[in-house]
Amino acid sequence: MDTDTTPLGTDTGTGTGARTEARTEAGAGADGITTTTVDGIRTVLAPGSGPLTAGLLFRVGRADETLAASGITHLVEHLALHRHGLGDLHYNGATAATHTHFHVTGTAADVVEYLNGVCAALRDLPMDRLETEKEILRTEAAGKSRGPAHAATLWRYGSRSYGLTSYAEAGLHHLTADQVRAWAQTRFTTENAVLWITGETVPEGLDLRLPAGAWQPAPEATSALPATPAYFHGEEGGVVLTAVLPRSTEAGLFADVLGKELFRELRQKGGYSYTATADYSPRDADTATITAYADALPEKQDALVGAFIDVFAKLRAGRIEQTDLDAVRASTLARFDLPELAARMLPGHAVNLLLRHRNLTVAEAKAEIEAVTVADLQRVARAVWADALMQVPGRGVDWAGLVAAPAQSPDVVDGRRFSAFEDGNVALLVAQDGVSLVSPRGRATVRYAECSLMQVYPDGARHLVGNDGFTVTVEPTLYRLTADALAPLDAGVPAGSVVRMPPRDPSCIPQPSGSVRADGPGRGAVWFTVLLWVLGVPGLLLGAWTLVLYKALGDAHSHMSRYDAQYVLKWLLAAAVFLVPWGICMERRRKGRN
């Protein structure tokens, strides 16, 4: 459910950004879709054979949340479905980036029972199930596999808006009944919903009363990319490219042509990949995401990256076969000949109503498809490359004109330094406005005002995530932190970004290696101290005693013998040899504490 459910394989919008309000009066559309209202909810119907199918959509999804409250929409969905239990009824719910969908297939009575039950639950959520459903959602997340492009949303959007789909649902650890209830009452409302039904009439007995509210526009997209085209290193072993561009028919057709070209070049000709494909998915009312993906074995990854980039260079140069365009055009147009077309179009039609994106008639959609040219596809190819974010498995691709996406923060805070026990080159910098982690591998900074999440653990750890996606982990067991070191973090991070976590299993709390004790000075400092007392201090005392004796006998002897002078000098030198390193060690420890 993370993508638009439009069944025609091409966008139903004009690509001009035009929007129209959905009709709220009853009436039949030119393409067999009837528009009406049920209990104030915009409703679309189209006749279909077989069991009745219906869907209730709400314009709220993961992109509307904050990281600290992420999972709240999914939690409402689960609570709304709990009372349906185990029956034979075919139903489900899904939470996507911009909408939540409750859908059902069955008899008219089944559909009425299901939809009435969902709305009744939304009016009065079963909060006695709150903690149980949280556990179920955490279990669901643990077993869910992610698609190849999941990391790209984090790198593109950071830890807000559409980037939240890359994160675990952190809010499940602390969301209260009042917070969940308030979310349902303000987002799952009459004005923020659309209903679709594959029938000629609305089944009798529907009771879809919901709280009154306001329609919620899709959230503004955030950005963590200073420039595009860009790339980052991924661990999955394949190549993924994403780009965001205006919704249009030509962009949808371009994705199909791109998929054909990738398959031909990377699998059939090069033999680099098993899977080589491309996809077009509307993101919100005005924009869509094109995703291209190809996999490869480790020994073929370098060759794959080069061939992948060559495909885009070819399309950007306009070397697009007319036969490829004709093939995808014919395939797309053929879908308009499917039986019960209006019923098949209903889910996508409803999503567009929900987002306030213009729905084209069949005639308008066909005309746009027929009008697309090779030159149009070339323009789309250039737009895709200009906004590209590419995940590569190995070396960088600066040679292809892409810049590396930021892998470290641009600066660090000016604050107190707390060195790591095991490596003095690794340190936390804690200031009144933020915290930084610095090491020879790079730096990460989270400013408190731009902190989207701080997880606080009973053992004292703090895990911070910035709006740009950079994270800083503060583990007291690993750093020379003083008792008051965490005070600026607790005072500076907004309360709405703080999540208090349950105790961790002791095995999950990181510890220094056995060569370093976290509760005292390192072994090196201990040995220097021992040597100081065994050799350094006696040497100093003996040297001082000799000098005093020489002074006392100064009247009886005109000078100290050469042997005596050498003896004193040797002891003083031995003391210095052990005192100086010990002093350096103690000074480094003092700086680490400060």
Asked if 241 and 378 sit in the same domain, the reply is yes
Asked if 503 and 527 sit in the same domain, the reply is no
Q: How far apart are CA 363 and CA 543, in angstroms?
A: 105
The whole-number pLDDT of residue 31 equals 81
Strand order in the sheet with 27-28: 27-28, 34-38, 41-45, 193-197, 52-58, 100-106, 90-95
Span 446-474, average pLDDT:
97
Report pLDDT digits (tens) over 384-420. Answer: 999 999 999 988 999 999 999 999 999 999 999 999 9
Report pLDDT digits (tens) over 255-285. Answer: 999 999 999 999 999 999 999 999 999 999 9
Of the candidates 508, 533, 549, which is a domain's last residue?
508
Q: Is residue 449 part of a domain?
A: yes
Asked if 312 and 447 sit in the same domain, the reply is no
Q: How far apart are CA 229 and CA 391, in angstroms?
A: 11
Query: Are the C-beta atoms of residues 436 and 445 closer than 8 Å to each other?
Result: yes
Q: Backbone phi, then psi, for 27, in 5-degree steps?
A: 175, 160
Three-class SS of residue 460? coil
Asked if 42 and 152 sit in the same domain, the reply is yes
Q: Is residue 450 part of a domain?
A: yes
Report pLDDT digits (tens) over 313-365. Answer: 999 999 999 999 999 999 999 999 999 999 999 999 999 999 999 999 999 99
Q: How far apart are CA 238 and CA 304, in angstroms?
A: 8
Q: How far apart are CA 58 and CA 55, in angstroms?
A: 10
Q: Is pLDDT of 568 > 70?
A: no
Q: Is pLDDT of 227 > 90?
A: yes
Query: Are the C-beta atoms of residues 4 and 351 closer than 8 Å to each other?
Result: yes
Query: For the domain that residue 443 is a member of, what is the CATH number?
Result: 2.30.29
Task: For the beta carbon of residue 263, count every other beta carbon within 10 angstroms.
Answer: 17
Q: Which domain holds residue 176?
A: 27-197
Q: Is pLDDT of 576 > 60?
A: no
Minimum mean pLDDT range among 107-116, 243-252, 544-553: 544-553
Encoding tokens for residue 448? 């408190």
The whole-number pLDDT of residue 351 equals 97
Span 499-528, average pLDDT:
67
Q: Give the confidence band of 5 by pLDDT, cuts at 50, 70, 90.
A: very low
Query: For the domain that residue 153 is a member of, what is the CATH number?
Result: 3.30.830.10
Q: Is residue 102 part of a domain?
A: yes
Report pLDDT digits (tens) over 155-196. Answer: 999 999 999 999 999 999 999 999 999 999 999 999 999 999
Asked if 280 and 388 sit in the same domain, the reply is yes
Q: Give the confidence band of 482 by pLDDT, cuts at 50, 70, 90.
A: confident
Asked if 275 and 156 sit in the same domain, the reply is no
The whole-number pLDDT of residue 214 equals 96
Q: Is pLDDT of 545 > 80?
A: no
Query: Are the C-beta atoms of residues 77 and 62 closer than 8 Å to each other?
Result: no
Farthest-apart Cα atoms in the chain, separation? 128
Q: Is residue 426 part of a domain?
A: yes
Report pLDDT digits (tens) over 72-91. Answer: 999 999 999 988 755 556 88
The whole-number pLDDT of residue 83 equals 80
Q: Is pLDDT of 297 > 80?
A: yes
**Which helix (H) or strand (E) element contains residue 577?**
helix 562-593
Q: Backbone phi, then psi, for 202, in 5-degree steps?
A: -75, 130
Asked if 38 and 183 sit in the same domain, the reply is yes
Encoding tokens for residue 540? 């100093």
Q: Is residue 589 part of a domain?
A: yes
Asked if 148 and 292 sit in the same domain, the reply is no
Total domains present in the chain: 4
Asked if 132 and 253 sit in the same domain, the reply is no
Asked if 303 and 380 sit in the same domain, the reply is yes
Mean residue pLDDT across the chain: 86
Strand order in the sheet with 416-419: 416-419, 427-430, 434-439, 442-447
Minimum mean pLDDT range among 108-117, 362-371, 506-515: 506-515
Encoding tokens for residue 457? 């653990």
Share of the chain above pLDDT 90, in %: 74
Q: How far apart are CA 160 and CA 220, in angstroms?
A: 10
Asked if 576 and 497 sit in the same domain, the reply is no
Span 214-226, average pLDDT:
97
Distances (CA, A) of 168 to 68, 150, 195, 221: 10, 12, 30, 19
Q: Is residue 225 part of a domain?
A: no
Let me know how many helices (H) and strands (E) the chain has, helices first: 15, 21
